[in-house]
Amino acid sequence: QKEVEQDPGPLSVPEGAIVSLNCTYSNSAFQYFMWYRQYSRKGPELLMYTYSSGNKEDGRFTAQVDKSSKYISLFIRDSQPSDSATYLCAMSSSGGYNKLIFGAGTRLAVHP
Amino acid sequence: DAMVIQNPRYQVTQFGKPVTLSCSQTLNHNVMYWYQQKSSQAPKLLFHYYDKDFNNEADTPDNFQSRRPNTSFCFLDIRSPGLGDAAMYLCATSSGTGKTINSPLHFGNGTRLTVT
């Protein structure tokens, strides 16, 4: 069993839709949770970072962590074609950004 | 404006022919990483440098080596590439103090390696 599981998609939505992206994990020691966005032929870029449980909002993006269910989510409101990318979740147990474990990514396509 | 620069963007090599990928950074970060990312898979950490200290992942094949001659540059050497080594290779940087990495990883745009 992989430590971090992520549905590969692709997920196709119309412009303006609310998108929900999710990851599950098995290691209860994970405390630091991140979402990276990776455009085609580019490196990943950090979108959101949360520590422990709870929600964090940044513009159209909301990250949610449910440690009791070992489940994290990224919501994108009012999705735009420019949001079309692969979204990778990443997590760490050992503090800060040490030893990140990535999910395989969910490919999102937002069509006009 | 690119802060982590990887060269070349695309590299084709022959089976068994050594190849070197390069990474440079303008962020003055003390931690540099090499990740391997195969199609539709999670990036896999190969090794990282914390300052001059080299940290190899236990499952990184001996075929992969790295050099960091100074803070700004890091190289990935693949001594005898096999077909299974075809992948995107990502360099990333971060800053750390006291063994804690306390800034987000900044990734380069990767080098896509093809082995023929």
pLDDT digit string (tens) for A67-93? 999 999 999 999 999 999 999 999 988
Nearest CB to B101: which of A41, A98, A101?
A98
State the DSSP code for B83: G
In this prediction, residue A51 carries a pLDDT of 83
Torsion angle in degrees (nearest 10) through CA of A3, A11, A48, B25: 80
Q: Look up residue A57 and give its two tokens.
A: 């909002």
pLDDT digit string (tens) for A38-70? 999 899 999 998 888 889 999 999 999 999 999
pLDDT digit string (tens) for B26-35? 999 999 999 9
Share of chain B above pLDDT 70, in %: 97
| Side-chain-facing half-sphere of B105: CA atoms under 13 Å | 31
Measured between CB atoms, does A8 come within 8 Å of chain B?
A: yes
What's the gap in Å between the CA of B92 and the closest CA on chain A? 9
Nearest CB to B109: which of A43, A88, A99?
A43
Tell me the chain A residues in contact with residue B42 when contact means C-beta distances shorter than 8 Å: 4, 88, 101-105
Q: Can you tell me the mean pLDDT for A30-40?
A: 93
Distant-in-sequence, close-in-space partners of A69: CB < 8 Å, separation ≥ 6? none
Task: Between B99 and A42, name the one with better pLDDT.
Answer: A42
Query: DSSP assignment of B3-66, as one string?
Result: SEEEE-SEEEE-TT--EEEEEEESS--SEEEEEEE-TTS--EEEEEEETTEEEE-TTS-TTEEE
Nearest CB to A45: which of B101, B107, B110?
B107
